[in-house]
Amino acid sequence: MLLKCPECGGRVCAQPIVLGVLYFLYVWDVMLFGYLAYLDSLWYLAVMVVGWLILDYFAIYVPLSPLRAKPDPSSQNPPKGHE
């Protein structure tokens, strides 16, 4: 997945391995703490929500990698000595 900024030409790319790890952690968080809340105490639901919010924070900021903007071919000058 590639996102482009129309203003500056900057690009960011989503890293699929990182997104896969985050997906696994989301499932693990819900399964483990949901099961513990079912067996023991509803306080585990609060722990699950806190874990979910921490994973959301990382899911927003971590998996996007900045890429350099593509050079605009119309603005490039020919190299010196090749005129």
Neighbouring residues of 76: CB distance < 8 A, sequence distance ≥ 6? none
Residue 82 has pLDDT above 60, yes or no: no
Q: Tens digits of per-residue pLDDT, 36-69?
A: 999 988 899 999 999 999 988 888 777 667 766 6
- CA proximity to 33, closest of 22, 75, 57, 41: 41
Give the integer Cα–Cα distance in Å for 15 and 61.
12
**Could you tell me if residue 29 is left (phi over 0), alpha (psi between -120 and 50 degrees) or otherwise beta?**
alpha
For residue 40, CA distances in Å to 21, 27, 31, 45 come to 28, 20, 14, 11
The count of other CB atoms within 10 Å of the CB of residue 39 is 8
* Global confidence as pTM: 0.60
